Structure 1
Amino acid sequence: MFTPQDHTFVVCAYKENPYIGDTIASLQAQTVTTRVILSTSTPNDFLREVCDTYQVPMVVNPHPHLAGDDWNYGYDAAETPLVTMAHQDDYYDPTFVERMLASLNAYDASELLIGFTDYFEMRDGERVDNNTLLRIKRIMNAPLAHRCCNGSAFVKKRILSLGDPICCPAVTLVKQNLGASPFDTTYKNSCDYKTWVDFARMDGRFVYVPEALVGHRIYAESATSLNLGEDIRKGEDLEILSSLWPRPIAKLVNKVYALSEKSNAL
């Protein structure tokens, strides 16, 4: 059985983000006490002040490259069997850890790869619970809420063959079954998608909690919006989809998926 002491939030921080204090506050407001650390490859006085204010330890990646390298560094620095990579501009419902632990503990720990929750969007200070993109992702993820499906490599890969419905900051990783440095380090934007596809080929469960317990902030300066604007994500996603489909089908799926993701490009 996993307990709150078995979990760490790793806040992935980059430069000086205005929302990071609110994110850490939401992590420290959980209904159960868990650990929080901040990981960065861009240490600065702003982040040091944030860490002092919230009494959060900072770890610094001395060899930065792409996002996956930074995530691996923070993930490896966490000393607990469960790790959630918290993005610096998102929000976590107070029951996130409590609900995640309850869902993971319904299974034998040796069977688990990741657990993840549903999410909502935050736009211009407003909570958005429903739009076309969110509804599509919920439909795609629905089979993974069931024991009969969430351990099937076929089901996991077929879901991911239609795009990436898994919200990265909503994912809790089970270190004992994933090992060290599990994130892809070849893609600039789609390293999370590539990582989930890699995991899907492994024996183990993707446990989906169909409750919107993470608020994903959408704004023009976010990494996702910038990379979509530069068409970085579209090219990377095509490569990933081509590992799951013949190239002509992958191109068709990618066109549809890219259109659905346009809502993130502000």
Structure 2
Amino acid sequence: MHTFVVLAYKDSPYLKSCIQSVINQSYPSQVIIATSTPNAFIRTMAERYHLPVIVNEKAKHTIGDDFDFARTCVDSELVTIAHQDDIYAKDYAKNIVDAYKKNPDAIILFSNYFEIRNNQRVYDNTNLRIKKKLLSCLKVSSAHCKRWSISLGNSICCPAVTYNNNRISYKKIFDSDYKSNVDWFAWEKLSRLTGRFIFVDKPLMGHRVHEESTTTQIIEDNTRTNEDLDMLKKFWPSIIAKILNYAYRNAEKSNSV
């Protein structure tokens, strides 16, 4: 029913921790590795943990291509794209599968999360509080609130998401040229489908924030600010989107290590 697809890229020093967290789940999920950069390091990790590797052989690809490949390279109803730098609590899969059984019309299901900064777990900061506040309406009426919950910012943590492929009619959902907001783009696209976004309000995965992360680098070169404005215009008139973008930009400061 559920598969973790570990999306591996080059030689991440955190890949081992990610793999260990998904193979030691209390729910017996399938685990595979997907990559567009096959190498000896990834093959060694796969052999050590007896995991199959599926290679994205498309000659030219973007971040979105890698994500869409990872989501669709297995036949499971439920798929979690496990980012190689992140970790999952042992009951992540159990909680997601249980929520799915109660809400079979879910388009995506996702948990709350904590941040990992300098190898320390952070459960509370401004960024986490804002995102949780935006998602709170999903507890009441997720069918009507799914667009509202993402209209003021990218409130959903991408590696915390599990996709219900039975409800997603698109082969590609991450098909944008964005570098930072490829996931926010996907949530907006999925919010137009019939069904719900299910939020499991438990910190069941850890998202690593470090100097080499793509998010940190994108914030520093101002790419994210421009992409945020593009996304906000999908929900709001231009003048309101610009005001919101100015306020939202300040939240990015909490991503600094």
Classify the TM-score, shorter chain: over 0.9
State which of 82, 89, 93 in structure 1 corresponds to 2:78.
82
State which of 172, 177, 202 in structure 1 corresponds to 2:193.
202
Alignment of 1:8-87 (within 5 A): 8-63=3-58, 64-87=60-83
| 3-state SS in 1 of match to 2:142 | coil
1:177 equivalent in alignment to 2:177: no
Once the 2 structures are TM-superposed, how far is the Cα of residue 145 of structure 1 from its aligned partner? Answer: 2.3
CA contact (8 A) 1:229 1:265 kept: no
State which of 2, 7, 11 in structure 2 corresponds to 1:7.
2
How far apart are the structure 1 equivalents of 2:242 and 2:61? 28
Q: Which runs of 4+ in 1 moved over 4 A?
A: none
Q: CA RMSD in A?
A: 1.1
Once the 2 structures are TM-superposed, how far is the Cα of residue 56 of structure 1 from its aligned partner? Answer: 1.2
Greater displacement, 178-187 / 12-21: 178-187
Q: Deviations over 1:77-126 (max 9, x none)?
A: 1110100011000010000011111112112x2x2200000000011111
CA contact (8 A) 1:118 1:212 kept: yes
CA contact (8 A) 1:226 1:265 kept: no
| 3-state SS in 2 of match to 1:105 | helix
Once the 2 structures are TM-superposed, how far is the Cα of residue 188 of structure 1 from its aligned partner? Answer: 1.7
How far apart are the structure 2 equivalents of 1:124 and 1:193? 26
Alignment size in residue pairs: 255
User: If the length of structure 1 is used for normalisation, what is the TM-score?
Assistant: 0.93
CA contact (8 A) 2:14 2:84 kept: yes
User: If the length of structure 2 is used for normalisation, what is the TM-score?
Assistant: 0.96
How far apart are the structure 1 equivalents of 2:107 and 2:206? 23
Q: Deviations over 1:38-85 (max 9, x none)?
A: 111111111111111111111111124211100111111111010001
State which of 127, 131, 137 in structure 2 corresponds to 1:133.
127
The residue aligned with 2:183 is 192
How far apart are the structure 2 equivalents of 1:262 and 1:51? 36
| 3-state SS in 1 of match to 2:166 | helix
> Which blocks of at least 5 consecutive residues in structure 1 are unaligned?
1-5
1:255 equivalent in alignment to 2:246: yes
> Which blocks of at least 5 consecutive residues in structure 2 are unaligned?
none
Greater displacement, 249-258 / 87-96: 249-258
CA contact (8 A) 1:15 1:44 kept: yes
